[in-house]
């Protein structure tokens, strides 16, 4: 069960980063000449978001949480808890920002193609989309790095009372201890 979850989690992480990269590549490389072509590009980006990003992220998040449940020592590992927190942030980012921005930009592109909106509205939508893409990409890569590196971020036990350790004695003190004591009669 653990290995199956790990394989699914790894494949989902690959899909997530690949989907983000594909989204970015389409934004960079595609230079449609007409508003209709741009609208088609935005529909392709929305399809990547709907069919690659969201399922990959959902699978990665669910398999990561299930791995914590199946493998109990993970619950005490700081890097696992950090990955879980970043995974939830990524899920929120993809759901509320990237997917929504892709859909919003597609709708704005359609409105620009129909002459209902100006190009400046589309430029603002794309700027927000880039910020969200880079943020989620950084979180995704950081999650992969944490999963491979597994730094020691474990919760430390409460501070223990300091043990009393005597200072090392010098030669005179040691010699004085070895001599028999003289008692007064």
Instruction: Give the whole-angstrom CA distance, residue 124 versus residue 128.
Output: 6
Q: Is the pLDDT of residue 161 over 50?
A: no
3-state helix vs strand vs coil in the chain, percent to 5: 80, 0, 20
The predicted structure's pLDDT at residue 4: 92
Q: Are 108 and 124 in contact (CB under 8 A)?
A: no
The predicted structure's pLDDT at residue 173: 63
* pTM flag (> 0.75): no
The predicted structure's pLDDT at residue 141: 93
Q: Of 30-39, 40-49, 96-105, which gets the smallest average pLDDT?
A: 96-105
Q: If pLDDT is split at 50, 70 and 90, which confidence band does 153 have?
A: low
Of the candidates 69, 133, 53, 60, the residue with the CA atom closest to the CA atom of residue 101 = 133
Kindly state the percentage of the chain with pLDDT values over 70.
Answer: 81
**Can you give the residue range of the structural domain that contains 111?**
2-154
How many domains are there within the chain? 1
> What is the pLDDT averaged over residues 78-86?
85
The answer as to whether 101 is a domain residue is yes
The answer as to whether 26 is a domain residue is yes
pLDDT, tens digit, 9 for 90 and up, residues 85-119: 888 888 888 887 777 776 777 787 778 778 787 77
- DSSP code, position 127: H
Q: Are 53 and 17 in contact (CB under 8 A)?
A: no
């Amino acid at each position: 069960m653990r290995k199956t979850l790990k394989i699914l989690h790894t494949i989902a992480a690959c899909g997530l980063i690949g989907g983000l990269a594909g989204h970015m590549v389409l934004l960079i490389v595609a230079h449609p000449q007409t508003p209709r072509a741009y609208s088609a590009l935005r529909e392709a980006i929305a399809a990547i978001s709907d069919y690659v990003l969201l399922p990959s992220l959902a699978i990665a998040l669910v398999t990561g949480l299930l791995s914590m449940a199946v493998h109990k020592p993970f619950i005490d590992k700081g890097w696992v808890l950090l990955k879980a927190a970043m995974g939830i942030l990524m899920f929120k980012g993809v759901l509320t920002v990237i997917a929504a921005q892709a859909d919003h930009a597609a709708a704005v592109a359609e409105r620009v193609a129909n002459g209902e909106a100006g190009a400046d509205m589309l430029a603002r939508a794309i700027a927000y989309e880039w910020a969200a893409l880079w943020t989620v990409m950084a979180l995704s890569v950081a999650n992969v790095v944490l999963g491979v590196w597994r730094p020691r971020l474990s919760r430390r036990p409460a501070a223990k009372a300091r043990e009393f350790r005597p200072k090392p004695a010098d030669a005179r003190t040691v010699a004085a201890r070895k001599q028999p004591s003289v008692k007064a009669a």
